[in-house]
Every structure is written in structure tokens, then in C-alpha cells.
Amino acid sequence: MRRTISFAAPLFGILFGTLLLNEPLSINFVIGGGVILVGIILVTR
């Protein structure tokens, strides 16, 4: 479980930056987040 949270740190950074700092969320961030999630799934299997 701990490994998964550390792998997801970039996703939390983007999420909190968008929600708290009103930074723009582009399609590139969404695609990158999907790639990170796929990587987490592959590594934790």
C-alpha cells in the first residue's frame, strides 16, 4: 500500500494544484495521470 501512495504522489500534486491553486488542467495532465495509473497497476501486480 505504501508503494502505491508514493507512486501516486505526482497525481496528488496535480490534483491539489488544480483544486487549491486554480492551476489549469490540460489534456496532457489527464493523459499523463492515466499513464501513471497504468504504471502503478503494472508494478503492483
Asked if the model's pLDDT at residue 3 lies above 70, the reply is no
pLDDT band at 1 (very low <50, low <70, confident <90, very high): low
Q: How far is CA 44 from CA 10, 26, 27, in A?
A: 17, 28, 26
Percent of the chain with pLDDT over 70: 93
Q: Measured between alpha carbons, how far is 31 from 38 in angstroms, rounded to an integer?
A: 11
Of 1-5, 28-32, 41-45, where does mean pLDDT reach its minimum? Answer: 1-5
Q: Measured between alpha carbons, how far is 15 from 5 in angstroms, rounded to an integer?
A: 14
Write out the three cell numbers for 44. Answer: 503492483
H-type alpha helices, the chain: 2-7, 9-21, 27-44
Angle subtended at Cα 25 by Cα 28 and Cα 39, rounded to the nearest 5 degrees: 45
Domain ranges of the chain: 2-44
Q: What is the mean pLDDT of the chain?
A: 86
